[in-house]
Amino acid sequence: MKQYINKYYYGDYGEGKNGAADISASGKIQHEWPLWEVFIRSKQGLDHKHVGSLHAADAQMAIENARDVYTRRMEGISIWVVESKYIHASNPDDAATLYDPANDKAYRHPTFYDLPDELTHI
Amino acid sequence: MISFCTFTIQIMGMEKDMEQLFQEKIDKEIRIEPKDWMPEKYRQTLIRQISQHAHSEIVGMLPEGNWITRAPNLRRKAILLAKVQDEAGHGLYLYSAAETLGISRDEMYEQLHSGKAKYSSIFNYPTLSWADMGAIGWLVDGAAIMNQVPLCRSSFGPYARAMVRVCKEESFHQRQGFEILLTLSRGTEAQRRMAQDSINRWWWPSIMMFGPKDDESPNTIQSMKWKIKRFTNDELRQKFVDICAEQIKILNLTIPDPDLKWNEEKGHYDFGAINWDEFWQVIAGNGPCNKQRLDARKKAWEEGAWVREAATAHAAKRAQRLAEKRA
């Protein structure tokens, strides 16, 4: 049967994708190097931000490759890498139930409160 | 059996609604992210376009790599090395973006090596002189930038984000190319001739880079509707010609097109007929360097196999040792 709907539950990569490379009984390598997500801190005081992904055999190689691929122009001073298979993501189909309830809680915002103009330092 | 049919019909009905919702999102300039529902054709079109783009970056390293060891001085060599390294980076950003659509890296390589996937026809031309590093930077990267800047607003998020990085880095590529030609154009008579010869060879293939004429580009309408494409091939080509026709004046050299002249009425430059026969021949694999380029990629892949395997084995061994130590 033709598959009409594709869903990707974890990370950006779909469940079908095997993360770590494994070696069969014959010792022959079956899979490409695992995929890693790269996060870069652009300068001290800022958060690490997702910049993309790459393939590497292990964490050390992932960091070295991330240095070459994502920081050729001083874009970062710190790198995090995490194997993509360990990233769990919310499902876009659940967006309505997850985020819409926040819509009707305007009282969470300071602008909700109508106060006299002469009131200062608040 | 009956229940199966009902199920299929329901799914198909849903598909139609989903497609409508999808188009509404696109029309509202909401970016599509990998986990969002998308029509299968959108996914396939993007996989083809992004992987083709990635392959072009990687194959594009070859004609320039040819001149790294023969760059005329250390400054030029360092610049060329950095540029070729950038192309590798661009290929990697783009492969990653394509992978979010559910194709694996190895599948993409396999498509390149088997000839199933295409790459930009321009890289099937040879780099015969040092001036070609200038012409490639100015014309080939210039044409690429013209194509790529609108892609920063592509409807597919990962592609758009990759293109933002690519465009930022690409601008030095074009400027260094123009600088090479400018230096040659102010040099000896032999250097001027070398620069002119190079422009003569690269001009037409560069304006072919924008792809077939609009009326021969059947996918354009759908791609524009999906905002995978923002301008047509002919629109971008005209923009490029207009810009180059002015820039060449600074080089005091000529563009090899006797029909190139300003059209006051249109507010654009007219230019001569493109040899589409040559374009289709190169696409079909009959360009001067098609075989050489593919052979180089296949050789790199095959000769790198032991490195890929060794790195995996090393990682496995290290993980095992670590586990034993903890036990």
Which chain A residues contact residue B12 at CB under 8 A?
4
Q: How far is B312 from chain A (nearest CA, A)?
A: 5
Which chain A residues contact residue B86 at CB under 8 A?
72
Question: Given CA atoms B133, B231, B111, A51 in this order, what sign does their dihedral have?
Answer: positive
Q: Is A10 near chain B, with CB under 8 Å?
A: no
CB A37 within 8 A of CB A10: no
For residue A6, pLDDT beyond 80: no
Contact: B34, A13; criterion CB under 8 Å:
yes
For residue B198, pLDDT beyond 90: yes
pLDDT digits 0-9 by tens, B67-120: 999 999 999 999 999 999 999 999 999 999 999 999 999 999 999 999 999 999
Q: The tokens of B2 are what?
A: 């009956």
> Which candidate in A58, A64, A74, A85 is best for mutational testing of the B interface (most B CBs within 10 A)?
A58
Neighbours of B200 (CB within 10 A): 14
For residue B299, pLDDT beyond 60: yes
Out of A4, A12, A33, name the one closest to residue B35 (CB).
A12
Contact: A13, B100; criterion CB under 8 Å:
yes
Q: Which residue of B has its CA nearest to A13?
A: B100
For residue B188, pLDDT beyond 80: yes
Q: How far is B176 from chain A (nearest CA, A)?
A: 17
pLDDT digits 0-9 by tens, B212-239: 999 988 888 999 999 999 999 999 999 9
Q: Is B11 near chain A, with CB under 8 Å?
A: yes
pLDDT digits 0-9 by tens, A39-93: 999 999 999 999 999 999 999 999 999 999 999 999 999 999 999 999 998 888 8
Q: What is the pTM of this model?
A: 0.87
Confidence at residue B11, expressed as pLDDT on a 0 to 100 scale: 61
**Residue B180: burial class (beta carbons within 10 Å; 0-12, 13-18, 19+):** buried
Which chain B residues contact residue A8 at CB under 8 A?
34-35, 102
Cα B237 from Cα B212, distance rounded (Å): 10
Phi then psi dihedrals of residue B267, to 5 deg: 75, 25
Contact: B92, A1; criterion CB under 8 Å:
no
Cα B70 from Cα B304, distance rounded (Å): 25
Q: The tokens of B17 are what?
A: 């609604």
Contact: B169, A53; criterion CB under 8 Å:
no
Q: How far is A63 from chain B (nearest CA, A)?
A: 14
Confidence at residue B10, expressed as pLDDT on a 0 to 100 scale: 54
Q: Which residue of A has its CA nearest to B166?
A: A70
pLDDT digits 0-9 by tens, B151-160: 999 999 999 9
Q: The tokens of B163 are what?
A: 């293109």
Q: Is B308 near chain A, with CB under 8 Å?
A: yes
3-state class (DSSP) for residue A29: strand
Cα B40 from Cα B33, distance rounded (Å): 14
Q: The tokens of B220 are what?
A: 């354009």
Q: Is A33 near chain B, with CB under 8 Å?
A: yes
Q: Which residue of B has its CA nearest to A53?
A: B96
Q: What is the ipTM of this complex?
A: 0.85
Contact: B311, A14; criterion CB under 8 Å:
no
For residue A25, pLDDT beyond 80: no
For residue A27, pLDDT beyond 50: no
DSSP letter at A73 equals: T
Q: Considering only residues 15 to 34 of chain B, which have any Cβ-Cβ distance to chain A shorter than 8 Å? A: 15, 18, 33-34
Residue labelled with tokens 């979010």: B100
For residue B129, pLDDT beyond 90: yes
Query: How high is the mean pLDDT of chain A?
Result: 79
Which chain B residues contact residue A68 at CB under 8 A?
85, 89
